[in-house]
């Protein structure tokens, strides 16, 4: 586990402790076992992005604050130059860059995602809705029992409560923009 992930886990634990809540109550609120939530807080297991979003909403802090320890300040406009997105390390099958991490109280989470060939990610689900726009390469998006092939310029919008995953095709990286409604 990287130091960055351990720092995130410590901040998550700190939020719970500052709120004076027992671990059992918080785990129940997120519909995960106490044991798993304790592993998250102790930095023994990666916290999924979707759960980080739920944690930020639950404790009423910005997800950027959990990821970096710094509270975003911008409220009207946020510009992130190419290559300067905040790297979010959650799953080794995907590379995420947050493209609005400086903006406080976001209602959407725009992420630039790079799909790595040779990896087979697990199906995930999270609250909200998701929009994917293919930028480079070709990718397969599995949503429930359905599969969609996206090429540059193609997009897909779906209910993210449905189990889903993205895979690069042709043994090449694929990049896409995803926007998640928080």
pLDDT at 90: 60
User: Is pLDDT above 80 for 89?
Assistant: no
**Domain boundaries in the chain?**
3-68, 86-181
The backbone region for 171, taken as left when phi is positive above 0, alpha when psi lies in -120 to 50, beta otherwise, is: left
Asked whether the beta carbons of 40 and 14 are under 8 A apart, the reply is no
Does CATH place domain 3-68 in 3.10.290.10? no
Structure confidence at residue 92 (pLDDT): 64
With the CA atoms of 133, 137, 138 and 144 taken in that order, what torsion angle do they form, in degrees rounded to the nearest 10? -50
Instruction: Determine the topology of domain 86-181 in CATH.
Output: Jelly Rolls (2.60.120)
Q: By C-alpha distance, which of 26, 1, 6, 3 is closest to 15?
A: 26
The percentage of the chain sitting over the pLDDT mark of 90, rounded to a whole number, equals 53
Question: Residue 139 pLDDT > 80, yes or no?
Answer: yes
């Amino acid at each position: 586990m990287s130091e960055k992930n351990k720092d995130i886990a410590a901040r998550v634990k700190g939020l719970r402790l500052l709120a004076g809540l027992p671990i059992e109550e918080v785990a129940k609120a997120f519909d995960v076992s106490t044991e798993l939530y304790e592993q998250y807080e102790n930095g023994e297991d990666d916290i999924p992005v979707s759960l980080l979003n739920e944690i930020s909403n639950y404790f009423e802090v910005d997800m950027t604050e959990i990821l970096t320890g710094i509270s975003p300040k911008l409220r009207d406009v946020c510009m992130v130059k190419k290559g300067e997105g905040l790297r979010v390390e959650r799953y080794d099958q995907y590379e995420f860059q947050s493209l609005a991490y400086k903006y406080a109280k976001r209602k959407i989470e725009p992420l630039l995602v790079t799909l790595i060939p040779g990896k087979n990610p697990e199906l995930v689900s999270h609250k909200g809705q998701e929009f994917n726009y293919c930028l480079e390469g070709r990718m397969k998006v599995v949503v429930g029992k359905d599969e969609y092939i996206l090429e540059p310029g193609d997009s897909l919008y779906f209910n993210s409560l449905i189990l889903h995953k993205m895979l690069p095709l042709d043994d090449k990286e694929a990049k896409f923009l995803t926007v998640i409604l928080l």
